[in-house]
Amino acid sequence: MKYRTNSQQNNLMKMLTALLSMIFSVAHSQEASAELVTEWKKPLNDPGQSNICIKNGLLFFTSHNIEETDKMKGGFFNTVDVKGICYDIEGNFKWEVLLKGETADRMRVLSESLDHTSMIPVATDKHVWFLNPLGELTCCTHDGTKVWSKNFSASRSAANTPVILYKDLLIVSLPTGEVENDYKHYRLHALNPGSGEIIWRSDKLLNHGTGYKMVSFKEQPTLLTSTSGNGHYGIEGDSYFQFIHMDTGETTLSMKTGPFVSNKFYNLYNGHVMGVGRDRTFQYTNLNDGSIFSHPVNKCDEFFQWDGSAYQLVGEKSFREDNVNTDRAFPINGYIHFDKGRAIYWGNTKFNALTILDMKTKKQKWIEVPYQIINNRKIWNFEDIVFTEGVYGINKKPLLTKKGSHSYQGLGWNRFGDPVLIKNKLFWITGSGVIHIIDIEKELSPQSVQTLTIDPVGEAWTTGGMAYHDGYFYIRTQKDLHKISINLP
């Protein structure tokens, strides 16, 4: 039997690495590319972060109301008022409605976690509901006539406050007037959609950062929400998640879990509630016995890394050495896509990697993707990102001039909109206006991810996500409203 020397083994490893690199490079270069076509682009007066609600040929979203009297401080505007806006699907402006804010704190425009334009409106065939979490919930007809408004006094903005239509109820988290240490507590409220009358309040207190979503539990629609202490306001408390009955507001199940990040959403998967712990772990709470196990969020078993000319498959050691931001690799606020035993999500901050977690083995695969595409050139390094001199509205009025915002300089890696699933393709837009098309029928690798951009100049900053209707995507950025089509190979 012959034994290879260390030198021979090293040479063999180099040859194998080069061969894998060549295979990845050839496969990547031969992959047919999708094509993006801009149908129209309309300038917007003011910025915002909500996605778009589409109903009966109309587009509904929210924007900040920036008046000339609002002062810019440190490169940022601070506002309290919000505008509910309506366009038609051909890009024609129809109407807008003002929603007043009633809080002592003016909130920073384009905030990464507390922006009060983050909530997507909801609509039926006749009505639409807009929320300004700093003070007003409003119902309008499709022609802009205000039907009713509910005003309230808030502690701070609540970026995780979705409005949910369920049967004949409109469900949303609102402050109740209950105060502790000058902090206004919240509860889930179910309202009559047509009148705003309160039908029930949840029996559990929430805080302004609490996330909640509708899930299927024991084959019934149920609200999954969470409760924790609020250190910013000196409110102590353990961490719990709850299932809340959607017809009554009563808690049907409550379980204690480990300390979690309150503004991250919990997810229900395969008999477990899955959350993000403050110790940078995924936490799984077993619904049968309450047992908890966890594993690191920023663990990497396989990493497909771009080396400037091709993808290299590297392991944990190279991953750690080459990526200084991995210790901050929380999943971004919001969506984790579950498919075929996998969880697909993004890490935040300055780390540009799509993450795939095998829910059975708990192994994680990370795929590096470009931050931007500028003039057909893919930007892979954070230092090479193209920033505009600021965010400007109509008539070049500055809306943000400092590049220190997480949503701007950090490209919105803290908050992405939800992806759009069409057949076997997952369309996911990131903060710099880059659309990643993920083929979830394939084993996830660099060859199953295609990247396009809606703006090759570097001005399409967005955290609002994509809306899809009848073959077209509708996207709002900080400057424009876009209608695009994507032709797949």
Which candidate, 368, 359, 367, 316, places its Cα nearest to that of 338?
359
Tokens of 59: 């587009």
Q: What is the mean pLDDT of residues 466-471?
A: 95
The answer to which of 92-96, 102-106, 131-135, 165-169 has the lowest mean pLDDT is 102-106
pTM for the model stands at 0.88
Which candidate, 232, 237, 179, 234, places its Cα nearest to that of 209?
232
Residue with tokens 């700093």: 134
pLDDT for position 296: 77
- The kind and range of the H/E element at 26 are helix 6-30
Query: What is the separation of C-alpha 103 from the centre of its chain, rounded to a whole number of angstroms?
Result: 25
Tokens of 377: 């050139």
Q: Are 100 and 392 in contact (CB under 8 A)?
A: no
- CA dihedral for 260, 267, 408, 33, sign (positive or negative): positive
Strand order in the sheet with 420-422: 420-422, 425-429, 434-439, 449-453
What are residue 271's DSSP bridge partners? none
pLDDT for position 404: 47
pLDDT at 410 over 80: no
What are residue 366's DSSP bridge partners? 303, 355
Residue 366: pLDDT band with limits 50, 70, 90 = confident
How far apart are alpha carbons 22 and 269 in whole angstroms?
Answer: 38
- The kind and range of the H/E element at 251 are strand 251-257
Task: Return the higher-pLDDT residue of 207 and 303.
Answer: 303
How far apart are alpha carbons 63 and 464 in whole angstroms?
Answer: 11
User: Which amino acid would we find at residue 53?
Assistant: C
Give the β-pairing of 302-306 and 364-368: parallel
